[in-house]
């Protein structure tokens, strides 16, 4: 990072992204994997806040401990299918699988991985979408 301290979070993120791009395709691919890891957690947190629920209230709705809700929202838990379905129900939401813009059916070679990493920054940010149920 530069020696100047970022003023806002967005400036900080911009600096991190610039450094990642400068470090090369492997760093970009690793950053994308990290972003994917936390995307679902952020969506769950956002939905809970939209409903004005506390972690304790959501935990009560779905029958799991508040600490597990906290772990999921912080991205430190790897919840199983049943837990995710319970949480989705408690959030009055559905989990939706959204196809990638460019499907990866097979493991790619390192050169293909570099190309995919370059393209990944241009792909819309909506894998693992949690959408509110429509009534």
- Kindly list the distances between the CA atom of residue 54 and the CA atoms of 68, 109, 124, in Å, as whole numbers in the listed order: 13, 45, 30
Full pLDDT tens readout for the chain, 135 residues: 456 776 787 888 888 889 999 999 998 888 888 887 788 899 999 999 999 999 999 999 999 999 999 999 998 998 999 999 999 999 999 988 888 777 554 444 445 555 555 554 444 444 334 444 444
Q: What distances in angstroms separate CA 50 from CA 16, 29, 72, 132, 135, one per listed residue?
A: 29, 31, 17, 10, 16
pLDDT at 126: 40
pLDDT the model gives residue 57: 98
**Are the C-beta atoms of residues 43 and 75 closer than 8 Å to each other?**
no
* Domain 26-132 of CATH type 3.30.70.360: no
């Amino acid at each position: 990072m530069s020696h100047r301290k970022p003023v806002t979070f967005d400036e900080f993120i911009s600096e991190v992204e610039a450094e990642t791009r400068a470090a090369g395709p492997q760093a970009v691919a690793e950053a994308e994997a990290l972003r994917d890891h936390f995307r679902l957690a952020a969506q769950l947190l956002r939905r809970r806040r939209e409903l004005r629920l506390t972690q304790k209230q959501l935990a009560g709705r779905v029958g799991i401990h508040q600490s597990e809700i906290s772990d999921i929202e912080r991205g430190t838990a790897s919840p199983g299918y049943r837990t995710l379905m319970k949480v989705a129900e408690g959030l009055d939401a559905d989990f939706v699988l959204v196809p990638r813009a460019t499907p990866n059916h097979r493991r790619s070679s390192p050169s293909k991985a570099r190309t995919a990493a370059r393209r990944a920054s241009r792909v819309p940010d909506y894998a693992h979408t949690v959408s509110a149920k429509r009534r």
